A and B are shown apart, each in its own frame.
Chain A
Amino acid sequence: MLLATASPSAAAQAAPRQLPSSRTAAVQQPLIGGVRRAQRRAAARLAVVAAAAPPAAAEALQRFSAFDRVSVLSEALPYLQRFRGKTIVIKYGGAAMKDESLKARVVSDLVLLSCVGIQPVMVHGGGPEINTWLNKLGIEAQFKNGLRVTDAATMDVVEMVLGGRVNKSLVSLIQQAGGQAVGLCGKDSDIIRARQMVEKDIGFVGEVTSVDPSLLRTLVSDGYIPVVASVASNGKGQGLNVNADTAAGEIAASLRAEKLILMTDVPGVLRNKDDPSTKYTALTIRNCKELVDEGIIAGGMIPKVDCCIRSLSQGVSATHIIDGRQPHSLLMELLTDEGVGTMITG
């Protein structure tokens, strides 16, 4: 009755056409409720699809017949089988985080992986977002050797922005795309414990000392997608700002993940840093060390590669540095031979 009175127009339309007079409200209720739910769901799906597929991708898709699409899908089978039930840790950041359409596609990739039985864990930072909010609060962002100088006030903002805003917006995006996400920060159940890097004198910046994967294991085995913000606890109530790459690497190590995927703003490890065609598809630890010695791997790539080697030496099977700016880079890397980035193995 309540429902019927709440939407009199729908009831008026449905009732006279189908049932002349004597149908009970009990029958009508689920009908109306069902219609509404379907409408709501359709609207939500439309919104996601619109965000996820910009015009270019839609045109590309139109060139394929239904048979093409199905055969491409069936070709992914061996990859899906290989990674089924395996844990994959994805460090999400950089350009893919700022651009809304990329964001939606990363999220839909993630949900797809989770649907086909792969267990993704997402770890994220959020430097630009933190800067925005520091600005709004009139706190000046300071950096020392590429690391953020984090005093008590900045740490509060970091924790709020990463754990509150960035984390929950990712969670709600995943939920919208039909996944089951749980947003956490390193403090929850002490997933990441860290020690303050006093020697670097940059405030509350932490070095990971231990990772407790038990909560993540529970979530992942029940089909949830954990989304972890790179804020760590020091065991005494103080939050610490931890590099998100490192956090992702250590979480991957603790879960003995099949893969660690770092989403960056570069195509991968390049021989000539200005020419994307000189990208290495696959490297071993040994290759990496030689390339570092030759000066080919330099600058901001060194900490990324170090992070990969560090988790490889702890038993992660493969690590990938991929171009997060490319649409569907996650799926390209996981489900095709060429990949979009550089794979580093032991």
Chain B
Amino acid sequence: MLFCWSGIRSFPKLWKINPYLSLGPGHPSLFLLVDCGIRNQQRWFSLKTMSPQNTKATNLPIAKARYLRKGYGGSKKQVPSDSPHLFAAGAAKKRSQMNNPQSKDHALPPVRNTIQLPTKPLNSEEWDKLKEDFIGKANFEDLVSSRMAQCHSSVDVAKSLLAWVAAKNNGIVGYNLLVKYLHLCVVHKQTSEVIDVYEIMKARYKSLESGGYTLLIRGLIHSDRWKEALLLLEDIKKVMIPSKKNYGDCIEGALLHQDVTTAWNLYQELLGHDLIPMMETLKAFFDFGKDIKDDHYSNKLLDILLYLRSNRLYPGESFAHSIKTWFESIPGKQWKGQFTTIQESGRCSSCGKTIESIHLSPEEYEFLKGKIMRDVIDGGDQYKKTTPGELKRFENFVKSCPPFDIVIDGLNVAKMFPKARESQVLLDVVSQLAKQNLQLLVLGRKHMLTQRSRWRKDEMEKVQKQASCFFADDISEDDPFLLYATLNSGNHCKFITKDLMRDHKACLPDAKTQRLFFKWQQGHQLAIMSRSPGLTFERILRHDTVVQTTGDSWHVPYDEDRVERYSYEVPTKWLCLHRKT
């Protein structure tokens, strides 16, 4: 074991010593060696469950090889052709790939103890034989049935298993097997089988558990007995709040059977439980709406869009299509929908209308400022992030200074380019900005002022000449001060840091305030992309990415299916709807 690890650890070294490995022909032995090592490694671990280290270790050579190919292929610099803004969907992924090209998750398939699942129904003798051949601690029937459920075996095979079990057991099949069978029936949409199992469950058990109910609901909504799914929902409610999936299924069932009132009632109930409905559910309302020409119903759909707006939710691609089709199906209004993007100026590329500004309203602004002060800086215990003395010093400092144009996170900026000296980088940035006659504030910690190899005193003095500075204690946090100083200076003030401030966002008490903070952050955060020649910043957004309307137009941002969006990013694609006049 130990040997193995040491072997793996020295891999990078091997590659580093032989950088021309991929070019030079005379190293077959080395390849062989590496190969053996890996295989060995895998053997070691196939006994256990896969550990993350293992995947890392085995991926390393592959990744390195890719890296080498790239490195010696010539073009080392990756300059994105159209740079997305800091919070654009997928931007974080791109950034991480740019920073370390070798990291790419290769999920190895997990090792399972394999059972050959039968492909056609077996009779009892065959099952008996299969069971005898099976070696393992687990219960044979359990294991086979769960593997079947995983692999979506055909219903008949599962049925033959149940028949065999029942024959052994006086005609009794355990609940767990029944549920797994039900799962298969639901997956294969075998409604008649679902109803059979439903009858059996009703007969044998007084009540079921959530998993069984969920499957039954999902299976029953397609049948004529869909109303019984609602009764099952009632049964769940006795013990716990049904999941959004349960509600979603019931709503879909109601819509399938043209019972609009029930569907809306269920939707209201779902919102009443503070659950966030699934996008599929909302999409179902829109899909169903195509065939209904009813003002009441359309108003409800517009309410859904407003719900998306107030919760800053974004529909998926197919949902966006549904919205588009519904709008276009409204008779007499002549809506026209188009998929588009928003220009940097904040105008819609399709209709040319200006999208809502990213700036907060004055009330929202004041609210956020208060919250930052109270929850992020103070947080119930002033000693956690700072001290009362320091807080007072900071407040006096902010009051005494004129409003700033740009607030700089000194440490974040200085540490951005690891090869350059910290104070040098900071001075560069500050002096470049100072040339544009901007009122600057540099926030930092006191240790920056002590002379050291990476913090030169003369350079720090120059910084202090060109900008106002505030140095917090070494054990205090500087980010909260940065946020407050920026907010206090007013709407025009921006701040420079690459930090995404997620920890400070998390300090805010509720989702609404967090959304407000995120909106403000999108409009005011500058992130440095490169230092020379001249500072370049990540693009800053002018428009707010949220569902919005002007009465005769709607703009709906949506998530593309193929782009992975992180929670602190916003979509870049839009659906533009406007009326032809």
A binds B: no
Residues of A within 8 A of B (CB): none
